[in-house]
Amino acid sequence: KQEVTQIPAALSVPEGENLVLNCSFTDSAIYNLQWFRQDPGKGLTSLLLIQSSQREQTSGRLNASLDKSSGRSTLYIAASQPGDSATYLCAVANAGKSTFGDGTTLTVKP
Amino acid sequence: GAVVSQHPSWVICKSGTSVKIECRSLDFQATTMFWYRQFPKQSLMLMATSNEGSKATYEQGVEKDKFLINHASLTLSTLTVTSAHPEDSSFYICSARQGMWSGELFFGEGSRLTVL
């Protein structure tokens, strides 16, 4: 059974800092890994999708890496802004469905 | 990215009534949609996988007679909470996969259900 762990559970940083969120998974036979953002009371917004054959994806200030063999992914956020404050979830897809981590709640202080 | 629309965004109902929540993929066809339940400050709990034209696959512990799922077309899946009780109050979210197994997941905005 796939298990996904996200560390840290919560993170608070001052505006402008670069930061890294971590995601690890136990079964490396995945189709892809996806990072999402969730604001309170809202659905999930897709940030980045990394296919199993890829090593990283970039979108603006976000960069996600994937090391399938070690079961790890990182989400790097550059020059953080207060508007980045949200919960970030990673999800790995295999066996027809996706397994989600519990998320990292990020607070960026002005 | 693709758009998934969920309706209603919030609903209040009396205990014993049934509530239907719709999930639509607006600009792509989705053979597979997923329904989740989320409790405050917790991650998503997968309830069931909805497959177009066939019966939904429910996760262990989810009552299929309680949570009826219908996926009648490639752009619409519905979740009906039957004979709702206060403990069914929760945030329900749907997602749709674009393409096949390795396709990107897109989520609806979520539906807040409150059962009085």
Interval B10-55: pLDDT, tens? 999 999 999 999 999 999 988 899 999 998 888 899 999 988 888 8
Length of chain B: 116
pLDDT (0 to 100) of residue B113: 97
pLDDT (0 to 100) of residue B105: 92
- For strands A97-100 and B4-7, give the pairing: unpaired
**Looking at beta carbons, which residues of chain B come within 8 Å of A49?**
104
Instruction: For residue B17, give how far its alpha carbon lies from the nearest alpha carbon of chain A (Å).
Output: 24
pLDDT (0 to 100) of residue B93: 97
How far apart, in whole angstroms, are the C-alpha atoms of residue B25 and residue B56? 17
How far apart, in whole angstroms, are the C-alpha atoms of residue A35 and residue B42? 17
pLDDT band (50, 70, 90) for residue A88: very high
pLDDT (0 to 100) of residue A73: 98
- List Cβ neighbours of A77 (8 Å cut-off, separation of 6 or more): A18, A19, A20, A21, A61, A62, A84, A106
pLDDT band (50, 70, 90) for residue A85: very high
Q: Which two tokens stand for residue A104?
A: 């990292």
pLDDT band (50, 70, 90) for residue B103: confident
Q: What is the mean pLDDT of chain A?
A: 95
DSSP annotation of B75: T
pLDDT (0 to 100) of residue A91: 95
Residue A52 zone, left/alpha/beta (φ > 0; ψ -120 to 50; rest): alpha
Say if residue B100's pLDDT is above 80. no
At B46-88, the pLDDT tens digits run 999 988 888 899 999 999 999 999 988 889 999 999 999 999 9
Instruction: For residue A21, give how far its alpha carbon lies from the nearest alpha carbon of chain B (Å).
Output: 16
For residues B7, B70, A99 and A53, what is the CA-based torsion angle, rounded to 10 degrees? -100
At A24-75, the pLDDT tens digits run 999 999 999 999 999 998 999 999 999 999 999 999 999 999 999 999 999 9
Using beta carbons and an 8 Å cutoff, which residues of B are at the interface with A? 1, 4, 6, 32, 34, 42-44, 46, 49, 91, 93, 95, 101-102, 104-110, 112
pLDDT (0 to 100) of residue B43: 86
Mean pLDDT of B86-102: 89
Selecting from B46, B93, B101 the residue whose C-beta is nearest the C-beta of A43 gives B93
